[in-house]
A and B are shown apart, each in its own frame.
Chain A
Amino acid sequence: QVQLQESGPGLVNPSETLSLTCSVSVGSIKGNYWSWIRQPPQKGLEWIGYIYYTGNANYNPSLKSRVTMSVDTSSNQFSLKLTSVTAADTAVYYCARLKDGYKNDYWGQGTLVIVSS
């Protein structure tokens, strides 16, 4: 079954860029859509966006000006960049496979990113 693992800094300074990578194992990144979802502490889930393995992406309008997603098929990884972060971006960030472009059926364990100086 597909396995996903998020990686990246757990602490980011305000106004800087948050960068995370999701490594996909036991399965190919090709032919699939891939999601990023986040969850602030003690709050609900927020959809960040998704990307097709070809690089076509859709982003949450509230984050669109700050978000970039990319795919590296040679490494079987996809990535998230969020610029100009503030404390409001502190959250657990999840990556997931978006099967058939609509259902997140496999998830990473999540990684906590804290925005603080």
Chain B
Amino acid sequence: DIQMTQSPSSLSASVGDRVTITCRASQDITNSLAWYQQKPGKAPRLLIYGASRLESGVPSRFSGSRSGTDHTLTISSLQPEDFATYYCQQYYSNLFTFGPGTKVDIK
């Protein structure tokens, strides 16, 4: 099975900050990675797929990139509505796995 780790597990940031979250796969998953945002009591929302492709309707301050088995989600300028938990998910194999999540809260 492909295992996913995320770092950090949580972070505190201010509005306007640049935020970076990393997801590492236990093997090469090419660009087969999606990022989801989840707010308390709500269903997750798809942000990025294909490692760097922005889902329709998602603000351009969100971006994704890949370097080897490391995948990064960047929020260029954190907005109040971005405080949430972020999950990566690989779909390289037909057995999907989520990362453990990164909680972004207000400093």
A contact set with B: CB distance below 8 Å: 37, 44-47, 50, 58, 60-61, 94, 96, 101-105, 107-110
Contact = CB atoms under 8 A, between A and B. Distances in A.
Chain B interface bracket (under 10, 10 to 19, 20 to 34, 35 or more):
20 to 34
B94 to A, nearest CB: 5
B55 interface: yes
- Provide the main secondary structure of the chain B interface: loop
B95 A45 contact: no
B55 A105 contact: yes
Interface stretch (B19-27, B61-69, B70-78, B97-105): B97-105
- Provide the main secondary structure of the chain A interface: strand
Contacts of B46: 103-105
Interface of B: 1, 32, 34, 36, 38, 42-46, 49, 55, 87, 89, 91, 94-101
A105 B100 CA distance: 20
Contacts of B99: 44
